Amino acid sequence: MKTIPNVFSNADITVTYNPSQCVNAERCAKELSAVFRNSVIPWIDLDAASTDLIVKQINRCPSAALKFQWRRERIQKTQPSKHPSSRKETIPFG
């Protein structure tokens, strides 16, 4: 039976969890129990810890059942604009 991956998002990331690929959900539940909860639905609460801690835990997933992507809004906030400001100050000659 094929399972559909679960998708969770916060302001910074979107996390995909594929339960059929997971080999050790207990590891996440022990190491970051506020986020990866085994007795509550939804299982993943991305507001329960900082995004950096969540990303570190996802990167430790031995089966790659957990994956994340940075959300476009976060990328735009953290990268400087490639286009200079279109507003130009005019200084009169005097």
Q: What is the rounded distance in angstroms from the CA atom of residue 63 to the CA atom of residue 87?
A: 50
pLDDT at 84: 43
Cis peptide before 42 (omega within 30 of 0): yes
The pTM is what? 0.72
pLDDT digits (tens, 9 = 90+) for 4-63: 899 999 999 999 999 999 998 889 889 999 999 988 888 899 999 999 999 999 999 999
pLDDT at 57: 96
Q: In the CATH scheme, what architecture does the domain 6-73 have?
A: 2-Layer Sandwich (3.30)
Backbone angles phi, psi at 55, to 5 degrees: -60, -40
